[in-house]
Every structure is written in C-alpha cells, then in structure tokens.
Amino acid sequence: MAEKFIAGPSPNIAFTDDKIGRMKKEVFYMSDEEVDKELEAFGFPAPPELCKAGSYIQTTPGKEQDEIRKKNDVVLIPIGCTEDHGPMNPSGMDTFMVTAIAEGVRRYTLNHGPQVSIAFPPLLYGVHPQSHVGMDGTIVLHEETAISMLKDVMLGLWNSGYRKMILINNHGHLPVLQTAVWKFMKEYQLPGIYRIVDWHRAVREMFALKEWGGQFETMFTHACEAETGCGLLCFPDMVNMDYVENGAGAGVLPGGHFDGSVDDTHPSRWEDGEGHNVMAFVATPNGVAGKATAATADKLKKPYLAIMKYLVMLIDEYLEAYPPGTVPDPEKTTLRTKEELAPYLKEPHTEGWKSVYGLSKTIL
C-alpha cells in the first residue's frame, strides 16, 4: 500500500500522513511563542545534567532506580564522540547535543509519567570515516572497539531489566551502531526492542532551508550553522562565538551523489562510500565544514522539540504494546524458547531469576 503524504511548504518538504508526520508538520508551522510553550513541558533548554542526581541510571540510588524501571523499562542510550568542531565549539559537542535530548525527554516523562531512564553515553569517543583520520582534536576508535563496547553495554542493561533500548545517535558512525545491534541480537538471541534513532535524520524537515520554507541558510554539515546553533541553545557556556569561523569540505568528484548530514535528496548517504572526500585536515583544517557565523540558538528549538516529541511517542508505543517487564514473543523473534529464557526474563534478584551472563551465545 502506497504511503500517503501531506504537502509541505515546498516540493522539497513533505510529511507522512500519519501521527508522526502530523506531529512534525505541527511543529514545523508553530510560532516562536508556541514552540517556547511546548518546550517548557520538557524543561528545555537546561544546563547539562550528566552529574545531576537522579538524571541517569548511574546518578540514581539503586533502590530508586529499580522502582523507576519497574514502571518504565525503556532506556535511552545517548551516542556521541570527541571530535574537532572548530575554534568556537567544544570537542565533546556531539555528546552534549544528544544528552540534552535524552535529558529533556526524561524531564517530560518525570512529570507526565512514567519516567524513562537514561544510561551514560557508552561512546564518548566515536568511530570516524577515513576523511576524518588525522584531524587534531578528533579521537578515533576502531570499529571493532566501538561494536564490542555497545554490545557489552546492551547486555548489561538487558541483564539489569532494561529490555527496550533506544540508541539516540548524534555522530556519523551509524553503520557501526547498526552492526552492533545486529550482532548483539544474532549472538545473544535475547527478545526485546532495540532501536537506533539518528536524530537529525529523524526530524530532517526541521532543518529545511529558507527557500524551502524553513529557517536555515545552509544545509546541515559539521560545526556549521545547525550544529553551532545546537551548542548556543543547549550549552551556551561551552561555545564562544568570538572565535567563530566558516569552512567548507571538499570532494574529489562532482557533487550531487551523496546526502549531507540530514538531507535525503541524493542517491546515497554520505556514509555509503569512501575516497570521495578530501581529508578533513586538508579541506577543513579549522574543523568547520559550514557557515557557522549564521548560527543562532532560536533556529534549533523546532528540531529539538520535534525529536523529543517523537521519542515520547516512541516510548509510549513501546509500553502500550509491551508493558514493563514484558517483551515480544521469543519464539517469534529469536531462536530461543520461552522455557529456556523463562528464568532470565524474571525481575532481577527475584526468586528463580538467573543472570543472562550464564546464558551461552547461540550463533555467529
């Protein structure tokens, strides 16, 4: 059945005719006053909460965290990196951009219930394409290291009772996240819901250019108008626009074949090839691949509002379909039996519970 679309402000923008598309269209056309009012429900923006008591699994007393999980066993896993974002931005920018989203969603669910949990970011350092290698300020992990780290974190969370995981990605290593989730499922065959949300792409309509009816002068790239604006909105104390510079990446072939960070108008995503980009330390030695001088905080309010509303929608759907403590039928979604998994699916530390670390891998 063909998907239906709702017309947007230009041929470049369309919204799916479902509750997700209708939500995004509503946000797209909101006035500044309406956006600010909606953001209040998320307590957004707010200072980073990585060390705030009660904000993360790791900053909450164990007994209190167990009670939170029993009412909502969805966990948000922010994914960031350490990477040069120009002289005006911090190198931990990707991490703080994504934790701001998770923290806003937690604040919303705290007041509108049930509260969702957040795990500390497992990737403070990320994986990078060939063109990023050698850039000062960018710390590159091997793909195998990141995949192993993610699988281990997912297994530990599953063992702790979090069987519905949303990995919120804020960096250009989506293929590695996909591989980690696939390998986790193939190796452990554990029933649950495991979802990657590449947040910029999930709300790509909010990054539309002015000529398309949007707010932005330039397309989303790196350390650009959009990313620098994220910093100005979410962690302004870490951004110093006295040092702002512009820059532009370069290719070795004519353009038009690859998407940027969020647009999906070209045949391939930028991750779908290698060798077509000039090395970053040659093309963008200042770490900037866009028009950062055009950045303002206000332009990023709609993107953040849209992604937080979407994640709340996702959490609600998961809990409605599978209430806390339940998972999809293992005999329909894995190669294991209900009988085999019964002790491992019990509430941790209850009678008959077994740790998943005693369960053998199955394949691959």
138: exposed, middle or buried (Cβ count in 10 Å: 0-12, 13-18, 19+): buried
Three-class DSSP category at 220 = coil
- Summarised one tens digit per residue, pLDDT across range 223-240 is 999 999 999 999 999 999
Residues 342, 344, 345, 351, CA torsion sign: positive
Give the span between the Cα atoms of 105 and 311, in whole angstroms: 7
Give the span between the Cα atoms of 153 and 118, in whole angstroms: 13
Percentage of the chain exceeding pLDDT 90: 89
Mean pLDDT value of segment 256-267: 86
CA distance readout (Å), 341 to 33, 333, 345: 51, 13, 6
- Summarised one tens digit per residue, pLDDT across range 186-225 is 999 999 999 999 999 999 999 999 999 999 999 999 999 9
Mean pLDDT value of segment 156-181: 97
Cα(first)–Cα(last) distance of the chain, in Å?
Answer: 35
Mean pLDDT value of segment 274-278: 92
Confidence band (pLDDT; 50, 70, 90) for 1?
A: very low
Amino acid in the structure at residue 131: S
Under 8 Å between Cβ of 48 and 103: yes
CA distance readout (Å), 89 to 228, 280, 286, 360: 7, 17, 11, 45
Domains of the chain are 9-358 (3.40.50.10310)
Q: Is the pTM of this model over 0.85?
A: yes
The confidence score (pLDDT) of residue 9 equals: 78
- Summarised one tens digit per residue, pLDDT across range 299-311 is 999 999 999 999 9
CA 213 to centroid of chain Cα atoms: 25
CA 360 to centroid of chain Cα atoms: 30
